[in-house]
Amino acid sequence: MPTNKKGRYAEIIIPENWKSFTIDTLLRDYWKGPKKLVHQWRMDRAILLNGKTASWSIPLTPGDSISLPFFENRKSTIIPTFHDLDVLYEDDHLMIVNKPSSIDTHPSSPEDSSTLLNFVAFHVSMQGEDREVKHIHRLDRDTTGAVLFAKHPFVGAILDRMLEERQIKRTYLALVHGDLKKNQLKIDAAIGRDRHHPTRRRVSPTGQKAVTHIEKIKYFPDKKLTFIKCNLETGRTHQIRVHLSHIGHPLAGDTLYGGKNIFPRQALHAYKMELTHPITEECITVYAPFIDQPPIFPELGENLFI
């Protein structure tokens, strides 16, 4: 279901399956949009139907045109900073970017200007618009791979909910020390803060529930490293790093969690992201190529990307 950007509006031709909705039920029940923003649009009479102010209580007619003010200019608090970006997917509503190592996902203070979010803000500002871009999730500073960003508040709120409801699937690749004996492994161990260290996490029965699924890809006996694939049911801070250390197979290069210092960073890469676009309903699958120079991960061919 494509959208057509016209200034501050996204124009959508109403599809057949929306005929049972009013504008009110479309925004609140179908999209489950942010209540404050939806209320503001209603008070401002901001939504148009066939170019005219729309009634919120009349059922929609397939083939009509609805215009939604997704793209209103909003002054961002993020300092836009130029930096080359590896953009994996982009449309009017969202972006997926391949994050390099040694860069934070988002600022830790208002004056911080050297994070991936700052770079995305600059990229969007070059399209001639003031946008309130937002990261939907984060990767650790030294983890590489796909990161999802929202380009306007309405889609950002929906993507937040989708992430919470596990409707956004993220797959990681990693190199761990030792030979992982099982080809498939589920790690179900709660994670909490380590009171002896300001940034470290640990497995703790009083922590938050955390579940990681592991698939063994290949063991390299000369390096005593196993190449694995990871999927998360939950998104706790340092989850993969903590869980793999907990089972005695820390990430190579992850000195915080017991890995040996054989790489300049922990060998963890978010290589695949899958989601249904919340506005267009397109099925999106994105792969993030390895970007380390010199390389960390072995290239195993296209059969890996399935």
Active site residues: 140
Task: Please report the DSSP string for the chain in residue order.
Answer: ---EEETTEEEEEPPGGGTT--HHHIIIIIS---HHHHHHHHHHT--EETTEEPPSSSPP-TT-EEEE-TT-----SSPP------EEEE-SSEEEEEEPTT--SS-SSTT---SHHHHHHHHHHTTT-----EESS---TT-EEEEEEESSHHHHHHHHHHHHTT-SEEEEEEEEES----SEEEEE--EEE-TTSSS-EEE-TTSB--EEEEEEEEEETTTTEEEEEEEESS--TTHHHHHHHHTT-PBTT-GGGT--SSSSS--EEEEEEEEE-TTT--EEEEE-----SS--SPP--GGG--
Q: Nearest 5°: CA angle at 170, between 305 and 265? A: 85
Q: Can you give the length of the chain in residues?
A: 306
Q: What distance in Å separates the CA atoms of residue 133 and residue 217, rounded to the nearest whole number?
A: 36
Assigned token pair, 13: 């031709």
Are the C-beta atoms of 56 and 22 separated by less than 8 Å? yes
Distance CA(242)–CA(254), nearest Å, equals 10
